[in-house]
């Protein structure tokens, strides 16, 4: 009888670690895909800096501000800092 309990606990631990592994892999895939998307969105900003047209350079500087802010917000969201701040504001702990 005790062996059945031990076997079920071991089976639960294996299933739990498998589920955690699946979530971890999914998290890594989401971060990788979103990092590629962010890199692709930075390309027009970078190309604007190498333009000979002064107006394109000026527009690129403005886009740089927004792209930097968006990237920082993304990093804070993925790292969990935004969740921590809002959790602290809501619960006080």
Q: Tell me the pLDDT tens digit for each residue of 2-38.
A: 556 655 555 666 667 788 888 889 888 988 898 898 8
**Which structure tokens are listed for 21?**
């592994």
Each as own residue / partner, the long-range contacts of residues 69-77 (CB below 8 Å, 24 or more positions apart, any chain) are 70/38, 71/38, 71/42, 74/34, 74/38
Question: Measured between alpha carbons, how far is residue 54 from residues 14, 43, 45, 71 in Å?
Answer: 61, 18, 14, 25
Given a contact cutoff of 8 angstroms between Cβ atoms, the answer to whether 71 and 38 are in contact is yes
**Res 14: pLDDT:** 67
How crowded is residue 71: how many other Cβ atoms within 10 Å of its Cβ? 14
Parse the chain into domains and list their residue ranges.
27-91
Q: Whole-number mean pLDDT of the chain?
A: 82
Residue 86 has pLDDT above 60, yes or no: yes
What is the mean predicted confidence (pLDDT) over 29-57?
88
Instruction: Determine the Cα–Cα distance for residues 16 and 21; give it in Å rounded to an integer.
Output: 9
What confidence tier does 79 reach under pLDDT thresholds 50, 70, 90?
A: confident
């Amino acid at each position: 009888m005790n062996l059945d309990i031990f076997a079920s606990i071991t089976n639960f631990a294996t299933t739990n670690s498998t589920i955690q592994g699946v979530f971890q892999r999914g998290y890594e895939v989401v971060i990788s895909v979103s990092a590629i998307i962010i890199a692709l969105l930075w390309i027009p900003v970078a190309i604007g800096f190498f333009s000979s047209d002064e107006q394109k350079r000026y527009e690129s500087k403005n886009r740089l501000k927004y792209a930097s802010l968006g990237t920082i917000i993304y990093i804070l969201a993925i790292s969990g800092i935004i969740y921590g701040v809002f959790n602290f504001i809501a619960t006080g702990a």
